[in-house]
């Protein structure tokens, strides 16, 4: 049943507003691919520790990752076109307007956490812990619609304590350091969040048969 057929309760209208405001971010399948790419990186590090990779192999392996990244970027654009064809297009303010204070503050927190990880080697992975806290702050206002990020958050915070048991070391490590782990969690964030965001979008929108809309009004 469509939103309008269900009668416009305030909640439905707030959902309309939320989906319109966050239409691009809710196109979750776009981010799933990028997430998979980031998940691939630590698995690669685990499979081939840096001490084993010779200079001879470093260049082709880097080239391979660049090619995969280019493929993911292409896939992201192609999926964007799919959403546009299926659900239409929304125009928002320029992307620079979305670069708000919370986004800048989040980046500063993450960079600071990485710096402390690398220099002091704290017993807890501060980058991952910081990421969990940022998720809580950013997604708390959207909790009615995007609760999945808040469900993911405790796992991230809990995982940040794993270095206490030597699962990985904070800071740089020749084998497996926090710099190698972070892309895995960032990737998981995009994969899981992307799937649930996509489901939220699909549940809200009604697919319209593909046809030109010429002369619609």
Partner 1 sequence: MAEPFEELAGLDRLIHEPARLAIMTALSASEGADFLFLQSLTGLTKGNLSSHLSKLEKAELVEIEKKFVDKIPNTYISLTKKGRAAIGEHWERLYRLRNSTKQ
Please state the closest distance from residue 212 (CB atom) to partner 1, in A.
Answer: 5
Is residue 78 a contact point for partner 1 (CB under 8 A)? no
Please state the closest distance from residue 189 (CB atom) to partner 1, in A.
Answer: 25
* Residue linked to tokens 């470093």: 58
Q: Is residue 118 a contact partner of residue 182, using CB atoms and an 8 Å limit? A: no
Is residue 16 a contact point for partner 1 (CB under 8 A)? yes
Please state the closest distance from residue 116 (CB atom) to partner 1, in A.
Answer: 39
Q: Is residue 88 a contact partner of residue 128, using CB atoms and an 8 Å limit? A: no
**Out of 49, 53, 66, 86, the residue judged to bind partner 1 by CB under 8 A:** 86
Please state the closest distance from residue 138 (CB atom) to partner 1, in A.
Answer: 18
Nearer Cβ to partner 1, position 59 or 217?
A: 217
CA gap 132, 143 in Å, rounded: 15
CA gap 162, 153 in Å, rounded: 15
The site string for partner 1 over 21-60 (x = CB under 8 A, - otherwise) reads: x-x-------------------------------------
Element (H, E) at 181: helix 178-204
**Out of 54, 59, 101, 213, the residue judged to bind partner 1 by CB under 8 A:** 213
**Out of 33, 37, 87, 168, the residue judged to bind partner 1 by CB under 8 A:** 87
Question: Which residues does residue 177 pair with via DSSP β-bridges, in sequence order?
Answer: 169
Is residue 95 a contact point for partner 1 (CB under 8 A)? no
Please state the closest distance from residue 34 (CB atom) to partner 1, in A.
Answer: 24
Is residue 88 a contact point for partner 1 (CB under 8 A)? yes
What six digits make up the tokens of 171?
């800071």
Is residue 17 a contact point for partner 1 (CB under 8 A)? yes
CA separation (Å) from 30 to 26, 72, 93, 130, 179? 9, 9, 20, 25, 24
Which residues in 119-144 are b (16+ Cβ under 10 Å) and which e?
Answer: eeeeebbbbbbbbbbbbbeebeeeee
Interaction site with partner 1 (CB under 8 A) = 1-5, 7-8, 10, 12-13, 16-21, 23, 86-93, 204-208, 212-217
């Amino acid at each position: 049943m469509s939103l309008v057929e269900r009668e416009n309760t305030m909640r439905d209208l707030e959902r309309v507003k939320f989906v319109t405001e966050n239409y691009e971010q809710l196109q979750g399948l776009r981010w799933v691919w990028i997430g998979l790419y980031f998940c691939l990186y630590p698995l690669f590090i685990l499979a081939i520790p840096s001490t084993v990779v010779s200079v001879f192999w470093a260049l082709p392996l880097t080239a391979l990752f660049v090619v995969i990244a280019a493929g993911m970027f292409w896939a992201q654009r192609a999926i964007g076109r799919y959403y546009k064809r299926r659900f239409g297009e929304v125009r928002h303010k320029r992307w620079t307007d979305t670069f708000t204070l919370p986004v800048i503050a989040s980046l500063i927190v993450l960079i600071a956490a990485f710096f402390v990880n690398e220099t002091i080697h704290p017993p807890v992975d501060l980058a991952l812990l910081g990421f969990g806290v940022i998720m809580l702050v950013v997604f708390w206002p959207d909790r009615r619609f995007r609760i999945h990020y808040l469900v993911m958050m405790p796992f991230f915070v809990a995982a940040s304590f794993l270095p206490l048991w030597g699962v990985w070391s904070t800071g740089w490590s020749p084998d497996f350091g926090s710099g190698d782990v972070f892309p895995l969690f960032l990737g998981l964030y995009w994969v899981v969040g992307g799937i649930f965001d996509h489901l939220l979008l699909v549940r809200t929108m009604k697919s319209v048969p593909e046809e030109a809309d010429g002369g619609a009004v």
